Amino acid sequence: MLLFLDIIPYITIFIFGITIGSFLNVCIYRIPLGESIATAPSHCMTCGRKLKWYDMVPVFSWLLLGGKCRNCKAKISVQYLIIEGVNGILYVVICVVNGLEWSSVIYCFMASALLVLSIIDWRTFEIPFCLNVFLFVLGVAAVILDRGNVVDHLIGMICISGLLEVLYLVSGGRAIGGGDIKLMFACGLILGWKRIILAFLLGCVIGSVIHTVRIKVSKVGHMLAMGPYLSAGIFLAALWGNTWISWYLSKLGL
Ligand SMILES: [Zn+2]
């Protein structure tokens, strides 16, 4: 019984996560098309039928309908289910690892924005500006929560993004995208300088490993969307960065 009571908050967090997840699906489709994410009601992509509330229950509706539109039986991409489920799981992981803290709220919204921008960047090689603005607003909130370390956050904002900006100018925009720079600017403000440097290193390592494998296996082009890899690095650094950094410093005897 005690165990059950203990997991109730996490079930609630999961349900909240999958609900936000279904909004993320709307963002993933509409932001690249320049459509409004707030006004137009959700509809079937094939027959245009407006969806009822019971068709929009995250995860469960997709499973109950067997991944098909209730009206025209057109297939509904499994991506809906995956994004909702993944977002729910990410929220639970964040709250378990980071605790039920205010900073977890910031990390949850950050993880959702990273999820959306990763998929959009993967498909279009473009990180939408509005998502970086959203992350920057989260950064301001992170600074307000962590008022004692304002300087850490401000250095975090410019240390990696400044380096990338130099790279951008030197390479004439070929080595790195402007969206990646803004991403590191905004998330540097959220994480502070130590963790954004770690995030960047992790992103580069994960990116080079996966991209090398992809080139070998599927002969994808050499064009590399950095957003998903940087996002993975940012997520890992947000949750485990402080632990890993202090472990590393203790090994150095610092
Ligand atoms: Zn339909």
| Residue-wise pLDDT tens digits, 19-75 | 999 999 989 989 999 888 776 677 887 898 888 888 888 899 999 999 999 989 999
- Report the SS3 class of residue 242: helix
Kindly indicate the confidence band of residue 209, based on its pLDDT and cuts at 50, 70 and 90. Answer: very high
| Distance from residue 150's CA to the centre of ligand 1 (Å) | 51
| Distance from residue 53's CA to the centre of ligand 1 (Å) | 15
What angle is formed at CA 160 by the lines to CA 174 and CA 95, rounded to 5 degrees? 115
| Distance from residue 68's CA to the centre of ligand 1 (Å) | 8
On average, the pLDDT of the chain sits at: 92
Distance CA 178, CA 126 (A): 9
Kindly indicate the confidence band of residue 1, based on its pLDDT and cuts at 50, 70 and 90. Answer: low
Q: What is the pLDDT of residue 217?
A: 86
Distance CA 234, CA 240 (A): 10
State mean pLDDT over 208-221: 84
| Distance from residue 77's CA to the centre of ligand 1 (Å) | 12
CA distances from 30 to 19, 27, 152, 169 (A): 17, 5, 35, 31
The DSSP symbol for 106 reads H
Partners of 75 in the beta sheet? Answer: 68
Two tokens, residue 185:
């600017």
| Distance from residue 75's CA to the centre of ligand 1 (Å) | 8
Residue type at position 123: R
| Residue-wise pLDDT tens digits, 88-146 | 999 999 999 999 999 999 999 999 999 999 999 999 999 999 999 999 999 999 999 99
State mean pLDDT over 194-223: 89
Percent of the residues in the chain that have a pLDDT greater than 90, as a whole number: 72
Q: What is the pLDDT of residue 49?
A: 86
| Distance from residue 36's CA to the centre of ligand 1 (Å) | 21
| Distance from residue 246's CA to the centre of ligand 1 (Å) | 53
| Distance from residue 156's CA to the centre of ligand 1 (Å) | 47
| Distance from residue 56's CA to the centre of ligand 1 (Å) | 13
| Distance from residue 67's CA to the centre of ligand 1 (Å) | 11
Q: Does the CA dihedral 241-7-102-104 come out positive or negative?
A: positive
| Distance from residue 43's CA to the centre of ligand 1 (Å) | 8
Q: CA nearest 239: which of 48, 92, 84, 63? A: 92
CB atoms within 10 A of CB 111: 23
Distance CA 226, CA 199 (A): 12
| Distance from residue 189's CA to the centre of ligand 1 (Å) | 43
- pLDDT score of 254 more than 80: no
